[in-house]
Amino acid sequence: MKFISADEPSLNGLASHLKCRREDVADIVLLPGDPGRVKMFKTLLDDFEIVSSNREYVVGVGKYNGNKITICSTGIGGPSTEIAVQQLIEFGAKVLIRIGGTGVIQEEIECGEMIINSAAMRLGGVSSFYVKPEYPAIASFEVVSALKEVCESKNIKHHIGIGASVSSFYIGQGRSINNCIEKSEAKKIIDEYRKLNIINLEMEAETIFTLASLNRVLSGSICSVHCNRITNMWLVDNEEAQINMCKVALEATTLIYKKHIK
């Protein structure tokens, strides 16, 4: 039998869960939740290749405007995102940008538009093991500014504000299911978020923001809106919105490389 360190298990230079090598991790990493979304970058990046696939983690590497970019899926929620973020930072990532889908709780925001979170309410669970509740989960100004600049230059409708990262897709996001909670009680959950001027609900941003801050790397998030919980609209075919979001994120990486990566 062969044994290795249980503190941070790795073998033959491979990250324990991501199964990629240090040279596969670029300064800037884009973080979709869905492993299937990594393959979308085959047509968006030059010299793109999938370098590893393990559980919910698929890692791809390519170039955009001559800059190396890594794409790494995180899976759903805080626990799997924590693993990806920590291993990417350990392997040298300097900027982490979440790219995904989100539901909004403001009536005026339409499906297909973009959400850039400046901060996230910490309801994801994982970050509570790292810091006290008072510690904020905030995106880096450099990343928010770059994403905003690209959206404005391309006339893409976007909204900037605080989101809530919630560890529950159903009850925690006000969905009544299987008689676990009455519809009226579920509505109260959404109403409570709205009173705090939360604009969207998702499941990963606060973990990324918090761990990035603790590790002194930059972070941000851009998501396309796939549903509006107030109007009760769900966008069935959101591929076009997802591609537009990926293009915005890639354009932002060019600005970030130019201004902030040494």
- pLDDT recorded at residue 178: 74
- pLDDT recorded at residue 19: 96
- pLDDT recorded at residue 1: 80
The pair of structure tokens assigned to 93 is 């990532």
**CA within 13 Å, CB half, 211:** 28
- pLDDT recorded at residue 9: 66
- pLDDT recorded at residue 246: 98
Residue stretches of the chain with pLDDT short of 70: 9
- pLDDT recorded at residue 148: 98
Burial 210-228 (b: 16+ CB within 10 A, else e): bbbbebebbbbbbbbbbbb
Hey, what domains does the chain have and what are their CATH numbers?
22-260 (3.40.50.1580)
- pLDDT recorded at residue 183: 78
- pLDDT recorded at residue 23: 98
Cβ atoms 3, 42 nearer than 8 A: no
Q: How many helices (H) and strands (E) does the chain have?
A: 5, 11
Cβ atoms 108, 232 nearer than 8 A: no
Q: Rounded to two decimals, what is the model's pTM?
A: 0.96
Angle between helices 141-153 and 239-260 (to 10 degrees): 120
Q: Using only the alpha carbons of the chain, give its radius of gyration.
A: 18
- pLDDT recorded at residue 149: 98
The pair of structure tokens assigned to 212 is 């990035």
Chain segment 135-170, per-residue pLDDT in tens:
999 999 999 999 999 999 999 999 999 999 999 998
